[in-house]
Each structure stands twice: as structure tokens, then as C-alpha cells.
Amino acid sequence: MRFPAVLTLAILLAGCARHAPAGYQGYFEGEFVYVASPLAGRLETLAVAKGARVEAGAALFTLERSAELSAQREAAEQLRSAQARLEDLKKGSRPTELASLAARLGQARAAAELSQLDFTRQQALFKDRTIPQSDYDHARLALEQNVRAVDELTSQLETAGLGGRTDAVAAAVADVSAAAAAKERADWNVEQKTQVAPRAGLVYDTLYREGEFVVLGNPVVALLPPENLKVRFFVPEAEFAAIKAGDQVHVGVTGLPAPLEARVSYLSPQPEYTPPILYNRDNRAKLVFMVEAMFDGNAARDLHPGQPADVTR
């Protein structure tokens, strides 16, 4: 007579079991930011220690840069020299040179006027046959010579006031641009010898000690920004289809009073065999899919990669 009641209780318990939140084992994983210099050199200063927290823009390390500083000074001097040459071409001749040309032009004009008067007299005398042909030719050629001298000095004075020729100025402008580019490159080389934190985070590791030679491109500091900490867990194949990107999950960590909230950010398209560490009485699936979930802001700031976690939906 009690069999129906027992059966009803068993059905109710089974229904409750079906609606219980699924639990998965996982661990924390970090996406590290490896800070390196694109130039090689001896590690001169390591400004941070492993385990410290730094803000964005904080100095991390400096490589030896005496050669780069010398190249920077040389590039700066070359740029100033090119700019000075360009300005000199634009200005034309100096005031004293212009004054000298103007004085010579005045003298030439006076000589031309005197030649004109002399030629007029010689021309009249030649018409009266008072002087020979040679005297007349001498006066005429002297006038022509002095007039040409006036024209030449006038052109020189105008040219001196104009400055350098267009092609010379264009070449000087190109020299300034090349010198400026060399200066920018030298500045960049100096700046790259000192690296700062691109983002705020934990100094997870330092990979060199002061005095060691750092090969070009090798990281010196490994940073872990708090937003780069994620939880990675494994879902059995039978339950994988129910999880979607953006789903909220609850991440339980030993020592925390309440679970953390995270959102699914990645679902692996490839199945994997269950790692031995996940074998237990409640999880015997042979094939699992890896799922990753990210935290908002600094929610997981004080947690560490490798730390185990229990994930529920």
C-alpha cells in the first residue's frame, strides 16, 4: 500500500536532480603580456620586482643606451644644420652684399651716363668730319659696354634679393626632411630602451637580472592584467550543446565566501580526452570540451593561474 507514495517521492527526487545546476572542474589561466624591447642591450635597470602590482605607464626596465643617446645628439645637430642651410637659401644675400651690389650699380650707371654724353659729342664731331672713324667707334663701344654693365649689375642685385634657386631650395627642404626622419628614428631608439607597463597588472615574473644581456625582442617582464585572468573548465560532450558564448557561470574558489560571476568567452570546437585529474565518481565522461569564461573588471584580481575552481551554471 505504501508503494505508490514511495514511487511518487522517487519521481519528485529525480525531477529535482534534473534541474540541479551542472558542476564542472576547472582551473584559472592567465593571458600574459610579455614586455620586451625591439632593441638588444644590457639590462641596466629593472624597476619592478616579481609579485608587485604596477599601474599603466609605470617604468619596468631600461637597457643600456649610450650609443642611442649619441646617435640622437648627432641627428639633432644634423637637423639643425640642414634647417640653417635652408633658411640661408631663403634669405638670399646678406645686407652688406646687397649694399655692395647697389653701389657698383650706381657707379655703372654714372659711367653709362658719362659714356652717353661723350658718344653724343663724338657723334656730332664725326658728322662734321672733325674726328676720325676710330674715335667715333671707341665712344660707341664704350657706351655699349657701360650699358651692358648696368644691365648685368641690375640682374645680379635682383637675383641676390630673391634667395636661392627653386631647385636648390627644394633640395634643402628634402635635406631637412631626411634629417628630421633620422632624428625621429634616433628618438624612437632611445625611447625603446626604456619600457613601461602597457596596462595595469601584476608583475608575474621577471626574466632577466640587472647586468645581463637581453637579446633583441626577448621579454624581460611578464605582466598579468586582472582582466586577462580567466577560468578554464571542461564540459562533457552530452552537456556541451547547452552552453553558449555569453552565458553566465558561477566560479567557486576555495577560501572565497561567495562564487564569482563570469561569462563564457570561448568554446573549443575540438573535443579532448578527460585529463586524469578530472576523473572522479561524478565525472566519467571520456570526451570533454574545453570552455573558457572571463571576469568583469577586477573581480579575479587576487587569484592566480593554476588555482583550481568549481564552475556551475
Give the model's confidence band at 276: pLDDT under 50 very low, under 70 low, under 90 confident, else very high. Answer: low
For residue 49, what pLDDT is reported?
A: 96
For residue 58, what pLDDT is reported?
A: 96
Give the residue-averaged pLDDT of 255-275: 86
For domain 72-187, give the CATH number.
Answer: 1.10.287.470
Contacts of 277-284 with C-beta under 8 Å, sequence gap 24+, read 277/25, 278/25, 278/234, 280/25, 282/23, 283/25, 283/236
pLDDT tens digits, residue range 79-101? 999 999 888 777 766 677 778 87
Highest mean pLDDT among 99-108, 199-208, 283-292: 199-208
**CB neighbour class for 269 (10 Å; exposed up to 12, middle 13-18, buried from 19):** exposed
Domain boundaries, the chain: 21-31+225-312, 33-62+194-224, 72-187
Residue that wins the pLDDT comparison between 90 and 187: 187
154: its cell numbers: 641690375
Which CATH class, in words, describes the domain spanning 21-31+225-312? mainly beta
The CATH fold assigned to 33-62+194-224 is OB fold (Dihydrolipoamide Acetyltransferase, E2P) (2.40.50)
Give the model's confidence band at 220: pLDDT under 50 very low, under 70 low, under 90 confident, else very high. Answer: very high
Give ∠ CA 274-29-281 in degrees, rounded to 5. Answer: 30
Q: Look at residue 109 and tell me whether its pLDDT is greater than 60.
A: yes
Among 5-9, 39-43, 53-57, 80-84, the minimum mean pLDDT is found in 5-9
Query: pTM (2 decimals)?
Result: 0.66
For residue 59, what pLDDT is reported?
A: 96
* Backbone φ, ψ for residue 279 (5° rounding): -70, 125
Task: Give the whole-number percent of the chain exceeding pLDDT 90.
Answer: 51
pLDDT tens digits, residue range 144-165? 888 888 888 787 777 776 566 6
